[in-house]
Amino acid sequence: MDRKTLILLEGKTKEEIAEYFGVRTKLPSFVAKDDFDEKLSDNSRWTFSKKYLLRDLHGDVIETPKQAIFRLARTLAEIEKQFGASEEEVERWTEKFYRVIASKAFTPGGRVWTNAGTHITGLFNCYVLPVHDSLEEIYESVKHAALIQKHGGGTGYNFSELRPRGSYVVKSKGVASGVVSFIRQFDRQTEIKGEQTWVFST
């Protein structure tokens, strides 16, 4: 957690800190009365806790599964405002989305569960990054991959633009090391991120 955030949250109540991280503490009656959490198996409860529920400054879980569903439902419903929906319509859509997800008729991808309604905007599970044929652009793609993986996204790459090994490089007056050498760089970067605590999409 960066120093700026720590200062911002200093002196805040537990509820205020939870809301900062995206937890919806004020629940409508259809969520409050739902017994979704009680019906979960031990394995489902563990999976929610390990992968999808929001955590506080210390890494402790601060959200229940049904709060997570409401966070998703509300975030999805609020998009309707961009198309002229009123607050009343947003509330109706929130309940519809909540009931569809809670009934297990539909479940979003992992990054939607973890990032929707928070300060992290990436909602895709997987990204395919272009790798252009210059040293600067190759390592720019390495950087983008690291940032995506930081928030749990999976990454794939298109290496088709890279010139074959042994090709003459005009600017450096040398020869290209080839695609495989750069694939190893991307592979090593992923290994380094995997050694940390990030949860990757698979």
Confirm whether 202 is domain-assigned: no
Is 134 in the same domain as 182?
Answer: yes
Residue 202: pLDDT over 50: no
Confirm whether 199 is domain-assigned: no
Kindly report, residue by residue over 126-185, the tens digit of the pLDDT.
889 999 998 899 999 999 998 888 877 889 999 999 888 888 777 777 788 888 988 888
CB 25 within 8 A of CB 15: yes
Residue 22: pLDDT over 80: no
Instruction: Please give the average per-residue pLDDT across 32-40, as a whole number.
Output: 95
Close Cβ partners of 152 (under 8 Å, ≥ 6 residues apart): 110, 111, 114, 115, 198, 199, 200, 201
Confirm whether 156 is domain-assigned: yes
Given 115, 144, 173, the domain boundary residue is 115
Close Cβ partners of 52 (under 8 Å, ≥ 6 residues apart): 65, 68, 110, 113, 114
Confirm whether 137 is domain-assigned: yes
Confirm whether 201 is domain-assigned: no
Confirm whether 18 is domain-assigned: yes
Given 115, 144, 163, the domain boundary residue is 115
Q: Which residue has the higher pLDDT, 9 or 119?
A: 119
Question: How many structural domains compose the chain?
Answer: 2
Confirm whether 200 is domain-assigned: no
CB 116 within 8 A of CB 79: no
Given 85, 115, 145, the domain boundary residue is 115
Tokens of 62: 């601060």
Q: Give the global pTM.
A: 0.70
* Cα–Cα distance, 44 to 118 (Å, whole number): 22
So what's the pLDDT on residue 198?
47
Is 103 in the same domain as 183?
Answer: no
Is 92 in the same domain as 152?
Answer: no
The overall average pLDDT reported for the chain is: 85
Confirm whether 29 is domain-assigned: yes
CB 149 within 8 A of CB 193: yes
Is 79 in the same domain as 156?
Answer: no
* Cα–Cα distance, 25 to 188 (Å, whole number): 41
Range of the domain at 141: 126-194
